[in-house]
Structure 1
Amino acid sequence: MTDLAERRGVETELYEPAEDSALLAGAAVDGVDAEDRVLDVGTGSGYVAARVRAETGAHVVGSDVNPHACRRAAEAGVETVRADLVSPFRAAVFDVVTFNPPYLPADEDAARDDWVEVALTGGTSGRAVVDPFLDKVGRVLRPDGTVFLLVSSLTGIEAVVQRAGERGFSSVVVAETSFPYETLVVLKLVR
């Protein structure tokens, strides 16, 4: 695989793995066991799903609303379902759910009309996809299930923690990296 930072600038029909993808994958690998059933929401290229599967031996399924992403993830050997968040999955079936959501607040000057924009932009607050995910993810988790959610300081980490708490999850930061313009964290959410 080429350097993640270099791939971020490639214009395609899906979001290419970058530093945020690597941060989430590393945190998930540390928290997944071989017997776990894992759902990688917004799987994109399948990078996180494939890495978790390869490094843990867990059964991993990817989902994405983008048909180009589903095709790319399947080509990477990831079992993939075209889906909006967790909608098609049965209740209480996954031990772990991972998600690198569209978290950037909308920037009208940089707006694009393509699938990459869908993968990057989380509405005016950056939480337009995160909030519905938090509202729904508990349904597909087993009672002792875990969520690994990537969040940016641009999105409002405390607002995400608060929303997760309102949905019955406690949160702890399990990975973090900083850039001049933002800090990325991976939240581990448990009930």
Structure 2
Amino acid sequence: MTVRIYRDKEFELLEGVYDPGDDSFLLVEAALKDIRAGEKVLEVGTGSGVVSFFVKDVTRVIATDINPIACQNARLNGVEVVRTDLFSGICGQFDVIIFNPPYLPTSEDEKLDTWLNRAFDGGPDGRDVIRQFLAGVKRILPIGGRVLTVFSSLTDIDAVAELYRQHGFSVETVAREKVPFEVLVVFKCVRLS
């Protein structure tokens, strides 16, 4: 187990869980600027639980992940977590959904035979899991609800924005960071229809 420090707070990281990087921390900052006390928040694909770890200081958050080690890791950090694929079996409506999808374009020969593969493998164009998310998210996100999502220029920023618009969302870039080999972007997507 490793201990990581961010914003002067320690959180634990187990082996076999996505190690929070620039994308995770960019999403933490965007979430803390956007989310208000009393809002119902769901984090889909929590990984280590780092985003929910900070958001739970503002309001109640429920997190999900398919990786059992990630769920264990999030619980170690005091995050309420449900093991499920995206939001299967999650009931009710949420004001905000936080989503750090697996967004890296991944060919068949790049796939790993571990749970960690689920943290980065976005399919051939990096958008497979984003499409799955958008196909079902309206069940738990009312009109006016928001999605905060992070992804990379390797996934094609314009193509991701267009996917959200096609599913009835407005799209606003709320954070952007240039890192080696890519640009990370956080969108705030508001459900319009």
TM over 0.5: yes
Deviation of the 1:108 alpha carbon: 5.2
Confirm whether residue 37 of structure 1 aligns to residue 40 of structure 2. yes
Give the match's secondary structure for 2:128: coil
Give the match's secondary structure for 1:94: coil
Using the aligned pairs only, state the percent identity: 44
Aligned 1:1-191 pairs, distance under 5 A: 1-2=3-4, 12-54=15-57, 56=58, 58-91=59-92, 93-107=93-107, 110-191=110-191
Q: 1:7 matched to which residue of 2? A: none
Q: Is the 8 A contact 2:14 2:73 kept in 1?
A: no
Worse-matched range after superposition: 34-43 or 136-145: 136-145
Give the match's secondary structure for 1:143: coil
Give the match's secondary structure for 2:184: strand
Q: Which runs of 5+ in 1 are unaligned?
A: 5-9
Matched residue type, 2:69: H
Change (3 A) 1:160 1:69: same
Query: Equivalents in 2 of 1:180, 1:71: separation in Å?
Result: 31
**TM superposition score normalised by structure 1:** 0.90
Matched residue type, 2:46: T
**TM superposition score normalised by structure 2:** 0.89
Query: Equivalents in 2 of 1:30, 1:152: separation in Å?
Result: 20
Query: Equivalents in 2 of 1:158, 1:103: separation in Å?
Result: 14
Deviation of the 1:109 alpha carbon: 5.6
Instruction: Report how many aligned residue pairs link the two structures.
Output: 183
Deviation of the 1:31 alpha carbon: 0.7
Q: Is the 8 A contact 1:131 1:160 kept in 2?
A: no
Q: Is the 8 A contact 1:105 1:122 kept in 2?
A: yes
Query: Equivalents in 2 of 1:154, 1:86: separation in Å?
Result: 25
Q: Is the 8 A contact 2:18 2:47 kept in 1?
A: yes
Matched residue type, 1:124: P
Give the match's secondary structure for 1:188: strand
RMSD (CA atoms): 1.8
Matched residue type, 1:61: I
Post-superposition Cα deviations, 1:52-95, rounded to whole Å, max 9, x if no partner, equal: 112x2x1100000111111111111111101111121224x100
Q: 2:9 matched to which residue of 1? A: none
Query: Equivalents in 1 of 2:134, 2:154: separation in Å?
Result: 18
Deviation of the 1:111 alpha carbon: 3.5
